[in-house]
Amino acid sequence: MLQKTWPQRIVVVQAKPGYGKTFLSSVIIQDLEWSATPLVEKGERSPTTAFFHFNSSDRFGSRRTTEALHAIATQLVHAHRKQKIAIDALCLLIDETSSGQIRASDDDVDAILKILLRQSPTFLVIDGVDEYHRYNFEDIKSFLAINLHYMTEYGMFGDKEIPSSMLDDVTIRASGTFLWAKLLVSYLNSNALTPQERHTTLANAQLLEGLDGLYNEILCMLHRCYGREKSVAADIFKWLSASLHALHTKVLHTALAIIPGSPTSKLQYLSNFPESIPNITCALVEVDHEGVVKFIHLSLKEYLESADTAKRHPEFSLFNKNEVNQYLAIRCLSYVIHDIPRSLSQLCDYRKSRLVRTLVLQLLSTKPE
């Protein structure tokens, strides 16, 4: 049951620094505790509240997620100290499955939380996650270590080993953003890079700090690809940015095959599609489990539409929306003229075609700004 309903059980509050999120969390904690007081006085079952505050500005700023869970578990043990059933269960846990350490292990904490979170309704208030960049440091480091190890095994870094200190530095540059780490791995996996260039990239990771820095480097690499592959990547960006509806792989496959002014034949379709999409775009575009093609993140679309990208990477820029609209309109019109059957009887067979509907609607909605 919880697996199906947990998204509805979480409230996330996001705002820029200084908007009072920490103050709000304190008020919420107080309200939750005060609302439970009358129930306790009546001897009724009351909800429990536990909280944790991440704060990277103080000397304890290096705390990890596991330490937050330790703190929450400690509060819950204290809150349930007078409940015989809960304490008995914890005693059995210590006797049977405990690690025996003075400080509870991660497995011990996990077991404690599973027991106590079932004892009564519980509110967990966690503040400062957005300010705390190292909360998933170990997860990102592990992801990078595994992928870099595989790449080293395949000789992609030559005979030179990657220093462990370099791995820590690269993980820090991720600033807690898993997407950054994922894109970096995809970039390093590119066949366009030499082993020396991969080592140089890791050694100068500070130049790629932030998603924009990594986007810039990936577009520079795509620029070095041969003309046709570079053109396909740019075309995919255009279709995704201006399409009225989410594009399925079948729709995009046909859209990329259109040559304005002539009928579309099977020989014009890209091979190994849609599996080739991540390779063509260096993972800037992905395909979800339903076959919908989309940018890896909304920030990429904003980056491609920026004036700065128009200066640095004009071949991939989406800054001039008139040009993008014209590109789509020409292909939509060509498809309508050359690929949709003339007779109404034949056209009826196509009425429910998502491809035709998408392309025609795109044509009708495309207009200069």
> Does 221 reside within a domain?
no
Q: Which residue has the tokens 């820090």?
A: 172
The whole-model pTM stands at 0.60
CA distance 294 to 217: 20
The verdict on 361 and 265 lying in the same domain is yes
Hey, what amino acid is at 315?
E
Q: Is residue 27 located within the same domain as residue 52?
A: yes
For the record, the structure tokens of 56 come out as 């990277």
**Tally of domains within the chain:** 3
In a domain? residue 339: yes
254 Cβ contact partners less than 8 Å away, ≥ 6 residues apart = 264, 269, 335, 355
Residues 278/186, Cβ–Cβ less than 8 Å: yes
Same domain, 198 and 237: no
* Enclosing domain of residue 301: 227-365
State residue 324's pLDDT score: 92
Verify that 150 and 255 share a domain, yes or no.
no
Judgement on whether residues 16 and 109 belong to the same structural domain of the protein: yes
Q: Looking at the structure, do residues 80 and 108 belong to the same domain, yes or no? A: yes
Residue at 217 is within a domain: no
- Considering the domain architecture, whether residues 142 and 259 belong to the same structural domain is answered as no
More confident residue, 58 or 237: 237
The tokens of 9 are what?
Answer: 């059980």
Q: 240 and 149: one domain?
A: no
> Quick one: pLDDT at residue 60?
45
Tokens of 133: 């960049």
- Are 283 and 164 contained in the same domain? no
Q: Residue 98: inside a domain, yes or no? A: yes
**Are residues 304 and 241 in contact, defined by beta-carbon separation less than 8 angstroms?**
yes
Q: Clarify whether residues 249 and 360 are in a common domain.
A: yes
Span 57-107, pLDDT tens digits = 444 444 567 778 888 889 988 888 888 888 888 888 777 766 666 677 778
DSSP secondary structure code for residue 342 in this structure: S
315 compared with 338, residue with greater pLDDT = 315
Q: CA 369 to CA 346: how far, in whole Å?
A: 35
